[in-house]
Amino acid sequence: MKRIALPISVIITCLCAYVLGWTSLLAVDRVEISTQESDIKKQIELKLSEPPQLINIGAPMARVDRRGITARLRTMVWVDDVNIRRNFFTGVVRISVSPREPLARLSGESGASSVGFLGKDLSLFYLPKDAVTSASRAGEVDWATLPILTLRTQSEALRGSAVTLLAKLKGAGLTVVSVEAIDNGNLSSKVRIGKRYLDISWGSVKEFELKIKVINELLAQPENKKIGKIDVSNPINPVVK
């Protein structure tokens, strides 16, 4: 029985592989693009229609080249991730894309037709302006209204400090207009607190919670009603102007 069982299992495996990969029994019936934005859908459809064709209606579902589709769609520079789901029973290939996740726009780094960004992974990347519009439509972030970031150098350490400060400012509920990072011990930002705009010198990102507490206490004092600048690089001895 064991001698017979092995050949039968091999035959069944080969038949399954043949049905999945070489017949029209489980074929692609349609392709769905998971987005409500007609412009994004059109971009993806145009990209997929470029030769060589990666998805053919009527072709075996198992032969859909998911790696090839992902690689092609990621040539659209605003695309970060691609998700492809194949339903062998309905014949539907569903494709969705996720845009990159920038934290800030770069100042002084944009040309007439491109815009620079700092990503959450500390990467710096540049997109054509029409791609920025596409990314905003595809995601939940309006890329055109991100905080403006000025980096004195592009070192990874300084980018890390900028990302940390941006995250802490957001966590504190502040609306960030811009951040300037000269070095790891010389960080500043323009923020909006209520209806007030303030230029804040943080020094480093250390003792941030204490610095926020000091700022709130300073703003609560009547004599500081009209101040526009606060330096809490030394939170024990803050300076207001």
**DSSP letters for 110-136:** --SSEEEEEETTS-EEEEEHHHHHHHH
Beta bridge partners of 178: 148, 190
pTM reported for the whole predicted model:
0.71
| Contact call for residues 227 and 202 (beta carbons, < 8 A) | no
| Pairwise CA distance, residues 143 & 225, whole Å | 33
Span of 24-28, 133-137, 138-142 with lowest mean pLDDT: 24-28
Q: What pLDDT does residue 7 have?
A: 60
- CB environment 207-222: b (16+ within 10 A), e (fewer): bbeebbebbeebbeee
| pLDDT of 182 strictly over 70 | yes
Token pair listed for 164 = 């940390």
Q: What's the rounded mean pLDDT across residues 92-101? A: 90
3-state secondary structure of 29: coil
For residue 113, the model assigns a pLDDT of 73
In this structure, which amino acid lies at residue 34? S
Q: Does residue 6 surpass a pLDDT of 90?
A: no
Q: Quick one: pLDDT at residue 111? A: 55
Fold of 102-240: Rossmann fold (3.40.50)
Looking at this protein, which amino acid is placed at residue 121? D
Which part of the chain has CATH 3.10.20? Answer: 2-99
Average pLDDT over residues 1-22: 47
Could you give the CA distance from residue 181 to residue 165 in angstroms, rounded to a whole number? 10
Under CATH, which number does the domain 2-99 receive? 3.10.20
Task: Indicate the SS3 state at residue 94.
Answer: strand
Print burial letters for 183-205: b (CB count within 10 Å at least 16), e (below 16). Answer: ebebbbbbbeeeeeebbbbbbbb
As annotated, the residues of the chain forming the CATH 3.40.50.11690 domain(s) are: 102-240
Per DSSP, the residues of 158-199 read: HHHHHHHHHHHHHHTTPEEEEEEEEETTEEEEEEEETTEEEE
The pLDDT of residue 140: 64
